[in-house]
Structure 1
């Protein structure tokens, strides 16, 4: 890890990764060991090898072809333009690519992408699924009452993609302000804040505030609290293993 990455990690709660900072630091992470098209062979990994979930960054230019994805992949464009088949994504747009599909891709020079992959499951679609940034969301359950340090929030959700097992999914979520006590994350969640802000604090008391535009992940096994003092809207991609 570079000096820049170490400095950013020092002010982040444990098991929380600032993905925009990771993308910006070309020396951070380890290059994937896979061979083949640049889509799979050139990504810098932000998470350790092993396990069903991996998160990495791709710097893409030109075009290529993937014969078959080894797992579902949530794709977020940090900068530039990415075309996958008939789907074109610009800055801060995202999509889910179901495992097993093959596709042609094309990227403008300097395109930066974050990819969250989940292997071992059965895809929930047969073609790329774009994440709708302004869908009609339906009411969803707030955090469990025993975890709340505030009144229960009003939450609304829209799921664009869910694997056949339900373990890997993505969509958008909105909530009124709330405060949740420190608790164990049984899942791995990538988040892009579209509106509002949230402060995470780990068990050691290290806190970090993420604001609209930030892209980050809270890894499975982390212990963090949540404090949002304004309405929040986010894109999410979650791996939640079935117990």
Structure 2
């Protein structure tokens, strides 16, 4: 007797639900312990399963970590995209500030996911060869880099404060975007400077190094930092917070 047409979809839904439960359990354990390390035995115990049963869903720990990394990048990209959508599309300065605030907000709300993708590399972890985690990272980071492209297309991208580009950085620009990049090497360099500044502030705050400041002072410092970054990078300067 042939199976019912609904049998396979129901089985697939059940498998997808279990995979999601495994990932959510792993994240919950990370949050509980304040770490990004996780073991199959601990996940299985929390789910009332046997460790070998988990291997029906993930080949090993690296495959699970890769799935969590991909989810985290997608979540960060979605957060930034939604924030950008809330400001006028033709206001590049406001869009940059909204994107930066979303990046900072997400890191504060999801410290384990933030650490998983943008913290110290996990010991003995090997990224998948198919590049899916790198592709997820590219999609998330494109929410920031695309602002430079949009500013150039609108004629609003000024020369960055630092125009000298080391040949090695130029090679990185060609490797990343090819010889027909939408931005010049000096703006590729400015993109990296902007991200490094945003990430540096966010990481310092996420790790408690600004806890001695009141929240209003941290917000003001962040707003000023992003305005400075925009000015140095050649982007339209966003309004003060």
TM-score (norm 2): 0.23
**Which structure's residues are more often helix, by fraction?**
2
Name the structure where strand makes up a greater proportion of residues: 1
The higher-RCO structure (CA 8 Å, 6+ apart) is 2
TM-score using structure 1 length: 0.23
